[in-house]
Amino acid sequence: MKTVDNNYIQEKFVEYCKMNTRSFDDSNEVPTSSGQVVLLNKIAQELKDLGLTDITYSDKDAYTVGKLPANTDKKVSPIGFVAHVDTADFNSENVVPQVHNNYDGQDIELGHGLTLSAKQFPSLNKHIGETLITASGDTLLGADDKAGIAGLLGMLKYLVDNPEIKHGEIWVAFGPDEEIGKGAARFDTRRFPVEFAYTLDNGDPGDIAFETFNAAAAKITFHGTVVHPGEAYHLMVNAALMASEFIQNLPASQVPENSKDFDGYFMVLSNNGNVDHAQISLIIRDFDTDGFNDKKQLVQNIVDRLNQKYGADRVELQMHDQYHSPGDLIKKHPYVVNLVRHAYEKIGLKTKVIPFRGGTDGDFISEKGIPTPNLFNGGANFHGPYEYVTVESMALLTKALTTIIQTHLEMNDNRDQTPLKRKY
Ligand SMILES: [Zn+2]
């Protein structure tokens, strides 16, 4: 039996990090940058070389998908894995990955005057003796999510190298524009016929996130009446003051700076106004659907009250949902998480449920009916020059994925449907 191919994982990771795949929020192209297409095509070729079938790339959603066919007659439902090719809003030109063999815990001079130090980033101490990969000071590395891609390809290589390991049908999908929240929203999941899937985006080995924020954005517009202040008695209506009255009616403690773990919040993004006209831009975040709906209702109620007080149509509300937590769907399919817990246990990883305080590709894919929690990719310090990952962490992802696949074959007919908890 062949072991996980660390050299292959390292080679693919370094090769892909060098490719500039930054996404751009202000672009309407699909995907939002041509570098992503280059990588998506390269991955398609890689899948072909590994012997996958049904490999397609679609111009409409810019996803590369492929299938590793089942090698057993045992009936087992198809499962999927998803990683994204784009990198975040930080310099990604001429990324030069630095490979530090046998990392000794000492400071690393990244270049451009930057030092990566275990004093500043203590989690580096977990990786002494490993093969550490960093950027060179003036760019990000792109471990988010190229570490996920490398770990995923490592899993395919491992199963192809070891055909005696039996598995059901496995689908993989590589998509664009995750960082700007557009990629998975466009994904045509008819191309991805799986029962459930996992994203491999950020996080530490052992992590699983099956709840994210539910998210909404609101614009509240206030129309005042301007009158000369000397003659304003019972006539002037001050839009700027209505706006501040609106803010005073929001719960003062439910703000990002007082929120953590599974807490939600209201956040005033901007508040501009004068006597004539004012506008507030606001976002709402909550893990629980009920709490989310309550928060939206509160905004509506404050607007209604102000309209009663100052006259109808003084205050206008425009509110729309941005994304939804996959939590409600995944809690109806607890096996999707319990399967991972059993697999993690087999390889000595302690399951840690992460409150994912943002959106993920899994939000959109779950909304399309495929329960999709997030696992991990093993990197750290994402989206900046201190980003790093070790080959061993990516190999651990490979190991976790192959174990999930093998455990699914064992458990498919006898599924652990224990209700999910937020702490194990
Ligand atoms: Zn990511």
Residue 203 alpha carbon to ligand 1 centre in Å: 10
pTM: 0.93
Active site residues: 86, 178
CA 77 – CA 100 distance, rounded (Å):
41
Q: What are phi and psi of 403, to 5 degrees?
A: -70, -40
Ligand 1 geometric centre to CA of 247 (Å): 33
Ligand 1 centroid – CA 146 distance (Å) = 9
Residue type, 56: T
> Rounded to whole angstroms, how far apart are CA atoms 306 and 310?
6
Q: Which fold has domain 6-212+325-411?
A: Aminopeptidase (3.40.630)
The helix, strand and coil proportions of the chain, stated in percent and rounded to the nearest 5, come to: 35, 25, 45
Lookup: tokens for 236:
């002037």
Query: 3.40.50.720, 2.40.40.20, 3.40.50.170, 3.30.70.360: which CATH number matches 214-323?
Result: 3.30.70.360
Per-residue model confidence as pLDDT tens for the chain (424 residues): 899 999 999 999 999 999 999 999 999 999 999 999 999 999 999 999 999 999 999 999 999 999 999 999 999 999 999 999 999 999 999 999 999 999 999 999 999 999 999 999 999 999 999 999 999 999 999 999 999 999 999 999 999 999 999 999 999 999 999 999 999 999 999 999 999 999 999 999 999 999 999 999 999 999 999 999 999 999 999 999 999 999 999 999 999 999 999 999 999 999 999 999 999 999 999 999 999 999 999 999 999 999 999 988 999 999 999 999 999 999 999 999 999 999 999 999 999 999 999 889 999 999 999 999 999 999 999 999 999 999 999 999 999 999 999 999 999 999 999 999 999 9
Cα of 201 vs centre of ligand 1, distance in Å, is 5
What is the location of CATH 3.40.630.10 in the chain?
6-212+325-411
Say how many Å lie between the CA of residue 200 and the centre of ligand 1. Answer: 8
What CA–CA distance (Å, rounded) separates 336 from 371? 7
- State how far the alpha carbon of 352 is from the alpha carbons of 145, 341, 376, 380, in Å: 20, 9, 11, 16
